[in-house]
Amino acid sequence: MNSAVLDMLKWDEQGLVPAIAQDADSHEILMMAWMNRDALQLTMEKQQAVYWSRSRQKLWFKGEESGHVQEVQEIRIDCDADVVLLQVKQIGGIACHTGRKRCFFRVLSNGEWQEDEAILKDPTEIYQ
């Protein structure tokens, strides 16, 4: 891995950048998480999404427990080099820990947040 590729990113004061995962087929935004330098390097090497879990303060190999791996087809950065955009194939068709296709399942409608995505699999079945 050419370290210049990683040096290009403007890591924040915690050494992180936001990373957006977009479904390469449906073009839906599946989720947004965070990456540190190691996570991005591993994502590039494995061609599978690896994030940094801020709550657990450790590398998060997406799908390591659930099997819902994200195969990475393309990696982009924005004009400020402080946001990563992944095009992914979402294995299992479930990106969200709630068992939904995508994390953005609440839409503003009539002045309220309304859920409009079905739970495809019970989380207790996903994380056994």
Amino acid at 124: T
Which of positions 95-124 make contact with a second copy (CB under 8 A)?
96-98, 100, 103-108, 111-113
> In angstroms, what is the minimal distance from the CB of 5 to a second copy?
6
- DSSP state letter for 91: G
Which of positions 4-23 make contact with a second copy (CB under 8 A)?
5, 8, 18, 20, 22
- Binding of residue 1 to a second copy (CB under 8 A): yes
Which of positions 51-80 make contact with a second copy (CB under 8 A)?
74-80
Q: CA 33, CA 52: separation in Å to the nearest integer? A: 8
**In the structure encoding, which two tokens stand for residue 104, read together?**
């953005």
